[in-house]
Amino acid sequence: MKAVAVQEFGGPEGLAVVDLPVPDPAGGQVLISTEAIGVGGVDMLIRNGSLAAYGFRPGHVLGGEIAGTVAAVGDGVDPAWLGQRVWAFTGIGGGYAEQAVAPAETLVPLPPALSPVDAVTLG
């Protein structure tokens, strides 16, 4: 799958499209086919290197707030989530990708009238 990762700290020019394997959802997680990704302040701080002291390194895939469709569920997750449009919080990254995992406990179903782009602005 395609993802956007920090290749070098700095401005947006330090981001690059990379090929990564599709992640498997672990227990309590879901795999989401992303349709929209929020850009948050933490993403910018990681990208520019301000949070390197916390272990963030080049290669990190940014993106915590995502919206899309649940494509797979891990152990212990209700399979009724499959195919549902949701907003989710991945944690501290992984969302700038075609597919991302997120804890099932963060899922919020999207009403039909709410677009994924609008949903990620509400997180």
pLDDT tens digits, 6-17: 999 999 999 999
CATH number of the domain at 2-120, out of 3.20.20.450, 3.60.70.12, 3.40.640.10, 3.90.180.10? 3.90.180.10
Euclidean distance between CA atoms 91 and 30, whole angstroms: 13
Query: pTM score, two decimals?
Result: 0.94
pLDDT tens digits, 91-106: 989 999 999 999 999 9
| C-beta of residue 28 within 8 angstroms of C-beta of residue 74 | yes
Polymer length of the chain: 123
Instruction: Please give the order of strands across the beta sheet that includes 65-73.
Output: 99-103, 29-37, 65-73, 85-89, 108-109
CB-side neighbour CA atoms (13 Å) of 30: 28
% the chain with pLDDT above 70: 100
Domain boundaries, the chain: 2-120
